[in-house]
Structure 1
Amino acid sequence: MTAPAARPRLAPKVAVGVVFVAALFMSIMDTTIVNVALPSIGRQFGVDPASVGVVNVGYLVTLAVFVPLSGWLGDRFGTRRVFLGALTLFTLASLLCGSAGSLDQLTAYRILQGAAGGLLTPVGMTMLFRAFPQEERVRATRVLMLPTAVAPALGPVLGGWLVDSWSWHWVFIVNVPIGVLALIFGLVFLPDYRTERAGRFDAPGFALAAVGFGLAMYALSEGATQGWGSARIAVSGLLGLAALVALVLTELRRPEPMLDLRLFRDRIFRVANLLSLFSGAAFLGMLYLFPLLMQDALGMDALHSGLMVFPEALGVMAASQVAGRLYPRVGPRRLIATGAAVVAVCLALMAAIGPDSNLWAVRALLLVTGFAMGHVFMPSQTAAFAGIPAERTGAASTLYNAQRQLGSALGVAVLGTVLAAVGTLSTTAAGTPTANLAAYRTAFLVASGLALIAAVTALFVRDSDAAATMRGASGQASEPARTGAATA
């Protein structure tokens, strides 16, 4: 791997951190801020609520298609060029979305956004982990906590305010100043990282990944709405699964695969990806479920339901400071297992939320949930890359982000299916439709089960495998790492 291009005006760690946080914040917030605007978009274009969902589906499917391509592009053309190109496209597509005059135009522009978003996060993560050496990976992961925690919770709040005060167009236009400033900063300060040899383009791997991830994301995104038994969802899901199976068989036989599945031979990378899949499904599922409960059962508007979720973000941010200090001494295994177990308990307690619940107690519960989830996010992401050489971080971040996208879609799909199966509406004795709290209670208990699976999976993490990320300034491994290495 070549050294980063010399840009003495600013340290590479600072430059990468600033640009990546801004881009990641914009990209993650976009997935939640648009949900608030969908009813307004549907009314303007005369489209029913079910049909306007294509705006989000097109984005998610395209994002899933381009994530597998990100690692090879970054290695082939340099992370700086690919990242800034994706940032430019995302910003331009946001402006186009804000000026769309029809649903077809908006969908097309969202597809452009998805293509850019599929490259931004994996390539940005590659730059971050190449800028920070192994012993400083905890600091690098703490950098990611700001956009990861705040953006999903801020999206509904900001989106509700923009739609109510201005119009739905502004939920897209708000990205433009952030993108322009990040782009200018990146052009001046961002270093470049690339491998000496990226390898040949794996056309069969890309084709199978595009079909497999794209159809799987479509089925997971729309299954609960259209019904899992519908021909469109069933065919998409089966074809997507078949393509993913073919992808695994193909990539394991190729000397230079687009998706380097051999990285899963690394034990801690494999386990961290698995527990991230389930913890991400539980967390993103909760962020999908909770606002629905607030609006359906408690009659809140979108803005106030979004504000109710915000303590979760504060909890994650606080945890990033605490977990970062505990990680070298305690190790990832106990931090992740304890954090995921507490999240499971909190999600189970959310099943008791109803019209008579104390809202401050609910906010406190969300704060604890975020604090516990922060002890899952930061250690698992840091430990996942502990055994990955610097020249293979591009391939590893591609796999990690592909899993994370599927995990978020899985959580929403599972909980949406539970809501649909139980039914979100019931009828009173007088024949009046009312919110069916049993559906939400069941869904929260399922989310709790997903978090519990993550907690059990964390027990298979070995601190000795993450010893490189637990070293202090002296270069000596902490006590848990030395003990784990002796007993492993």
Structure 2
Amino acid sequence: MRNYSFSPLPGPEMLPAIMPVDISVTTAATASTPQPRNFRVLAVIVASSLFMEQLDATVLTTALPTMARSFSVAPLHMSLALTSYLLSLAIFIPASGWVADRYGARNIFCISIGIFTLGSILCGLAGSLEVLVAARLLQGLGGAMMVPVGRLILLRNVAKTDLIAAMSWLLVPALLGPILGPPVGGFIVTYLDWRWIFYINVPIGLIGVALAVWLIPDIKEPPKGGFDILGLLLSGIALACLTFGVELGGRGVFSGAQTLIVIGIAGISFALYLLHARRLASPILDMSLMRIPTFSLSVIAGALTRITGGAMPFLLPMMMQLGFGMSAAESGMVTFMSAIGFMLMKAGATPILRRYGFRSTMVWNALFATALIAVCAAFRPAWPLWLMYAVLLAGGFLQSLQFAAYNTIAYADIPRDRMSSATSFYATFQQLMLSLGICLSSGVLHLSVTLSGHEHAQLSDFSLAILVVTAISFFASPVSLLFPKTAGDDMRGITPRVASDD
């Protein structure tokens, strides 16, 4: 069976949750006023939802063959369980900011966790592929609101000087989920029933809702303008067709012509959306945010970096299992070293960014982090384990620092009244680029196997896929050079100098 691709992670990112805080902050000036230092607890609550979503995605891919046998369908047909979730994410993420403003960020955050948890229960109870796909669509609706609204809660309740540390705390569980997924999925499939892949979300979801209701402040801000239904439709078609086309095209399910048609529909829909958005003061995806340099550069550089960030959690476990002959549990223990690097960065991001600044850190760290990830292409069974551990540990550390920098600097110059629009916009592109990273690496794998005449993917095929995705991420460094030297100085606690009259 020559099907080497796995579905992309929900976003994210994303790029993607607690003590009561002062919610009387209503202006840009007071928004930066230092608040009680509860950001760690707040970030952990938000991160729990992100961890649940990311773990669910990667655990599921391990169980697809077993689920296919349970439903008596071909394994290839199980891709519907993955693409249906991505389709729901792509459609509903852009609406998250407006809905949070209208009904309250805490309320929507709790409801979205509840919807995701309910969808998980229905997935576990599914007796057919059709029911599973419907339940995954419901899960996607919850996930589309859960992650960007959680980030919005952080941005509205954490002082700017604490935002670097808060984002670092948020990032660790988000990146830990994709690494824990394969070994956890392998354990569940081997020793339990595949349905527990979905049931493990239930206690996490219930605890998350309880803590959010208890400790997250209820903040509502009037949305700007009415709900952009036409914009949601056009952007949803564009994002869904792009994700769907690249995903199934990379798998070889679509022919080249079919892939071009679907991606062409995405392009036409996006062009129509841009024409539509120009006539509105508050479109569903506010493209005018790209005029803010720190935001636009973070989106672009972050997109290049997330190509690799989306691909590696899938390429490495497959490389270890198919190329090295390891079991799912054994490969998970090797790739888990990246997670240790992520956790170490939790304490290191704040002092590094405050010492060296955002621009310098992002420029140089992008080069070092990408180079270390590229070294993984040279991994072979003859390598000593300690050396692979060292590469993965350092690579995870630097990659985590890069994501923390992008996720923080993106909001440095966003006005408070546009924060919800910025979070939904940023989350949409995080999801898109993580998805494209997986689709691109899957396509390269498929092409390499076909051209080389291999019956199954070999180490050389994985090496090529890793080198392709890391080559793209190298361009994040020159893009980061375009950031102003003073970008994010207020987040570092540096007061801008006032020019003298003399």
TM-score, length basis structure 1: 0.91
CA deviation vs aligned residue, 1:140-181 (integer Å, no higher than 9, x gap): 212212212211111112111111110110111000000011
Residue aligning to 2:13: none
Alpha-carbon distance in 1 for matches of 2:471, 2:51: 29
Residue aligning to 1:362: 388
Alpha-carbon distance in 2 for matches of 1:452, 1:267: 20
Residue 264 of structure 1: CA displacement?
A: 0.9
Q: Which amino acid aligns with 1:4?
A: I
CA deviation vs aligned residue, 1:385-443 (integer Å, no higher than 9, x gap): 00012221110011111110111111111111111111179679xxxx56433222211
Residue aligning to 1:386: 412
CA deviation vs aligned residue, 1:51-99 (integer Å, no higher than 9, x gap): 1111111011111111001011001111111111111111111111111
Q: How does 1:314-333 map to 2 (within 5 A)?
A: 314-333=340-359
Alpha-carbon distance in 1 for matches of 2:144, 2:129: 22
Alpha-carbon distance in 1 for matches of 2:293, 2:254: 34
Residue aligning to 1:446: 468
Alpha-carbon distance in 2 for matches of 1:160, 1:186: 31
Q: Which amino acid aligns with 1:108?
A: A
Residue 5 of structure 1: CA displacement?
A: 8.3
2:38 maps to 1:19: no
Distance 1:213 1:466, change over 3 A: same
Q: How does 1:365-376 map to 2 (within 5 A)?
A: 365-376=391-402
Q: Retained in 1: the 8 A contact 2:358–2:487?
A: no
Alpha-carbon distance in 2 for matches of 1:197, 1:258: 11
Residue aligning to 1:310: 336
Report which stretch shifted further, 143-152 or 114-123: 143-152
2:106 maps to 1:80: yes
CA deviation vs aligned residue, 1:316-357 (integer Å, no higher than 9, x gap): 221232121121221111211222211221232122122322
Alpha-carbon distance in 2 for matches of 1:159, 1:5: 45
Residue aligning to 2:261: 235
Q: Which amino acid aligns with 2:355?
A: R
Residue aligning to 1:456: 478
Residue aligning to 1:272: 298
Residue 14 of structure 1: CA displacement?
A: 5.6
Q: Which amino acid aligns with 2:476?
A: A
Q: Secondary structure at the residue paired with 1:30?
A: helix
Residue aligning to 2:366: 340
Report which stretch shifted further, 22-31 or 352-361: 352-361
Alpha-carbon distance in 2 for matches of 1:5, 1:93: 36
Distance 1:249 1:465, change over 3 A: farther
Distance 1:322 1:107, change over 3 A: same
Q: Secondary structure at the residue paired with 2:227?
A: coil
Q: Which amino acid aligns with 1:331?
A: G
Q: Retained in 1: the 8 A contact 2:113–2:146?
A: yes
Residue 290 of structure 1: CA displacement?
A: 1.1
Residue 130 of structure 1: CA displacement?
A: 0.4
Report which stretch shifted further, 341-350 or 109-118: 341-350
Q: Retained in 2: the 8 A contact 1:424–1:435?
A: no
CA deviation vs aligned residue, 1:219-266 (integer Å, no higher than 9, x gap): 122221125634443322111121122222321331121111111110
Q: Retained in 1: the 8 A contact 2:289–2:295?
A: yes
Q: Retained in 2: the 8 A contact 1:425–1:434?
A: no
Query: Cα RMSD over matched residues?
Result: 2.3
Q: Which amino acid aligns with 1:463?
A: K
Structure 2 counterpart of 1:281, from 301, 307, 310: 307
Report which stretch shifted further, 174-183 or 132-141: 132-141
Percent identity reads 30
Q: Retained in 1: the 8 A contact 2:81–2:136?
A: yes
2:55 maps to 1:29: yes
TM-score, length basis structure 2: 0.89
Distance 1:171 1:35, change over 3 A: same
Residue aligning to 1:167: 193
Q: Retained in 1: the 8 A contact 2:93–2:428?
A: yes
Residue aligning to 2:236: 210
2:84 maps to 1:62: no
Residue aligning to 1:4: 23
Q: Retained in 2: the 8 A contact 1:268–1:383?
A: yes
Q: Secondary structure at the residue paired with 1:465?
A: coil
Q: Secondary structure at the residue paired with 1:421?
A: helix
Alpha-carbon distance in 1 for matches of 2:22, 2:189: 46
Alpha-carbon distance in 2 for matches of 1:296, 1:25: 27
Q: Which amino acid aligns with 2:485?
A: D
Report which stretch shifted further, 414-423 or 317-326: 317-326
Residue aligning to 2:33: none
Q: Retained in 1: the 8 A contact 2:47–2:174?
A: no
Residue aligning to 1:43: 69
Alpha-carbon distance in 1 for matches of 2:96, 2:198: 24
Distance 1:180 1:425, change over 3 A: farther
Alpha-carbon distance in 1 for matches of 2:89, 2:283: 20
Q: Secondary structure at the residue paired with 2:255?
A: coil
Structure 1 counterpart of 2:78, from 52, 66, 80: 52
Residue aligning to 2:124: 98
Structure 1 counterpart of 2:271, from 245, 251, 270: 245
Q: Retained in 1: the 8 A contact 2:40–2:166?
A: no
Q: Retained in 1: the 8 A contact 2:372–2:394?
A: yes
Residue 465 of structure 1: CA displacement?
A: 2.8
Residue aligning to 2:322: 296
2:247 maps to 1:221: yes
Alpha-carbon distance in 2 for matches of 1:447, 1:360: 25
Residue aligning to 2:147: 121
Q: Retained in 1: the 8 A contact 2:42–2:154?
A: yes
Q: Which amino acid aligns with 2:23?
A: P
Q: Secondary structure at the residue paired with 1:114?
A: helix
Q: Secondary structure at the residue paired with 1:467?
A: coil
Q: Retained in 2: the 8 A contact 1:424–1:439?
A: no
